[in-house]
Amino acid sequence: MPNVTESEVFDKFAQIVARSLRIDVAQVTPEVHLTDLGAESLDLIEITMETESQFHIFLPDKSILETAVEVFGPGVLEKDGYLTGEGKRLLMCRMPDADAEAFQGDVALKDLQHYFLKVGTWVRMIQGLAQYTPAECPACGGRMAPSMGFRMKCAQCGEEITLRSGEELNREWVREYYDKEYRPQAGAPIPVTVVQ
Partner 1 sequence: MEPAHNLDDPTASGSVPLSQAWNAPVAPWGPPVSLVCRRLDALPCEPGALAELVLSRRERDQWLSMRAVDKRRHEWLMGRCAAKDAVRLVLEKPLGWRIPHSDIEIVPDAYGRPLAQGAWSVLLGTQPVLSIAHTQGRAAALAALRPGQLAGIDLESMHHRREDFEAIAFSADERGLLAVLPGDLHQEWALRLWCAKEALGKALGRGLSAGLQAFHITAAEISTGTVRIELRAGALQQFPQLAGRRVTVYTGRESELVFATGIYQQGAAE
Could you list the residues that contact partner 1 (CB under 8 A)?
Answer: 23, 27, 32-33, 35-38, 40-42, 45-46, 48-49, 61-63, 66-67, 69-70, 73-74, 80-82, 108-110, 113
> In terms of CB distance, is 40 or 160 closer to partner 1?
40
Give the nearer residue to partner 1 in terms of CB position, either 49 or 135: 49
Distance separating alpha carbons of residues 58 and 171, to the nearest angstrom: 14
Q: Which is nearer to partner 1, 29 or 140 (CB)?
A: 29
CB of 144 to partner 1, least distance (A): 22
- Closest Cα to residue 147, out of 136, 158, 156? 158
Query: Taking the complex as a whole, how short is the minimal distance between the CB of residue 151 and partner 1, in angstroms?
Result: 15
Closest CA to 41 of 70, 64, 61, 66: 61
Nearer to partner 1 by C-beta: 23 or 98? 23
Question: Closest distance between partner 1 and the C-beta of residue 127, in Å?
Answer: 21
Tell me whether residue 3 or residue 41 sits nearer to partner 1 (CB atom). Answer: 41
Shortest Cβ 116–partner 1 spacing (Å): 10
Least distance to partner 1, CB of residue 112, Å: 10
Backbone dihedral angles phi then psi of residue 143, each to the nearest 5 degrees: -80, 135
Q: What are 26's strand-pairing partners?
A: none
For partner 1, the closer CB: 32 or 98: 32
Residue 24's alpha-carbon distances to 11, 14, 35, 38, in angstroms, are 13, 10, 15, 12
Tell the smallest beta-carbon distance from residue 27 to partner 1 (Å): 7
